[in-house]
Structure formats: structure tokens, C-alpha cells
Amino acid sequence: MKKRGNYKFLGRFSWYVPGVGGMFALLAWLLAGAFIGSLIQLAVGAAMGPEAMAEYGTLVSYPIMFIPPMIYASVKSGAASASRRGVKLDSNHFSPLGAVLCVILSIFGAISVSFWSDGFTSLLPEMPKFLKDALEGLTSGKIWVNFLAVSIFAPFFEEWLCRGMVLRGLLNGTRIKPVWAIAISAAFFALIHMNPWQALPAFLMGCLFGYVYYRTGSLKLTMLMHFANNTMALVFGHIDSLKDVESWTDLMPVPQYAATAAACFLLTVLVVLAFRRIPIQKPAGNSDELPSLFENDEI
């Protein structure tokens, strides 16, 4: 029997294609994981002191938060693998653009959305101090700790959940139109950030990530986009002259920001139009299907 991709980490989730109910189940397990992670973070603080908790607590608790939904999805996938066809979390539909151009477009697209979405975030009321301190702690501590948490863990786990599971499930496991599936998965992405100052840009970013995933089926590509956005924020957080900057309008006059934001928005549109050149293989997008393990036995 050929266990096609079944031994790979992402492959173990291929046969679980959650619908709307599954999306809420994953959210419930994520919240359970967040509770477990917070308890472990408190245990770290009790054992090593408050400074260690502030420095390393998130690095420990953040990946733990995703363990319950991953276990749940893996069990559901294993149970379904003998009787139903699966859908890969990660495919490679880059033609006619090519992988290299897709990578370049993805990075520029993510950074451009990050810039022009800042204009909407700046219209919100001032961020509470406790939240500001918490977010600054993610980008201004030890660089290697911040890099692991913000640039590695967040892109991997959040893309696994929001695009690999939720969007893939909505596209392949429901009759929801792709545009609404992308919007719902982007709203889910915004929701797990738990505050409007992150949720608003997360929703806009999630729409672009979702469209790229719909066209390419590539989770690696959306992870890269997420990495580019988070790493840019991390770099700025370690530049002393930019640590207290809350918005691009703090660095440049409003007319200059507006002109630059308009240019970035145009760049985003051009990136979307470029990815639109990739033909859609089926109405659910370009995520490749896998046979059931029973079909593999027959082969």
C-alpha cells in the first residue's frame, strides 16, 4: 500500500475537509489550547520568575495552543482516510507565472497590504496600554526569541489553521462560493487575533493570502507571505528610532502617506491580477486531490 503523503506532517491532515461546523470545532479546540498554554505560561513564571515568563512564556505557550486542534484534525483525517478522498494542504500550481515570480509577487503583495491597511488601523481609538505592551514584547525582546515566535511559529501554525484547514475546508467541503470562503476564512484569521488593532489588517491580509491559496493551492506561499509581513514588523520593532511609532503617519506627512498608500494599493491590485493568470483546475480552486487509502490499496 502506498501511503501517498500520509507520512508527511501536512499529509496527515489531508482527509479532514472541515465544513462550517468543523471550522467552529477547530476554533473551540484552539481556545482550549490557548487555555492550556496560558496555564503553562503561568507555570513557567512560577518556576523561573516573571522576567522569564515575559521573555520565554509566549515562545512556549504559543505552539501549545495549536496542539489540540492539530490532534483533533489528525484524528478526524485518519478516520476518514480509508473511505473518502482527501485534499492536499499544500500544492504547487504556479504555471504560467513560475515559482520564482510567485514568490516575488507574494512578498511584495503582503508588504503592500501591510502598508495601506495601516491607514485604516490609524482611524481606530488608541490601543490600550496593556495590549501595546504585550505586542511590543513580541517584537522588542531577545531577537532570536522574537524571530521564532513571530516569524516562524505564527506563519506556520496560523497558515496551517486559517488557509490549510479552514479555507481548504470551506472551498472543498461546502457549497460556499470561493469569494465568500476566502472572506470567511479571512474573518476567522482576524478573529483569532482577538483585538481590532490586529484584526482589521489581518482580515485584509487574509483576503490576499486566501486568494493566493485559492489560485496556487500552495500553503508554503502563504506561509512565506505571512513570514514577510511579520518579519518586517519584527525588524522595525528592533530599530530604536521606530519602537514608539504606531502608524506610518507618525513617520511621514498625511499627504505623503496617502500617495504612498495609493501606490501600494495599486501594487496589491497588480499582484491579484497576476495571480489571476493561473487557471483554476476546479471550482474549489487548485488544491490537489488525494485518493482514499482504500483506493490506494486497489492500486
Work out whether strand 86-87 and strand 289-290 pair parallel, antiparallel, or are unpaired. antiparallel
Residue 245 has a pLDDT of 66
Assess contact for 167 and 222: CB atoms under 8 A: no
Q: What is the pLDDT of residues 67-109, one digit of tens each?
A: 999 999 999 999 998 888 899 999 999 999 999 999 999 999 9
- Where do the structural domains in the chain lie, given as residue ranges? 10-298
Assess contact for 13 and 165: CB atoms under 8 A: yes
Q: What is the pLDDT of residues 101-135, one digit of tens each?
A: 999 999 999 999 999 998 888 777 887 776 776 66
For residue 20, which phi and psi values (nearest 5 degrees)?
-65, -45
Q: What is the pLDDT of residues 16-57, one digit of tens each?
A: 999 999 999 999 999 999 999 888 878 777 777 666 566 666
pLDDT band at 138 (very low <50, low <70, confident <90, very high): low
pLDDT band at 284 (very low <50, low <70, confident <90, very high): very high
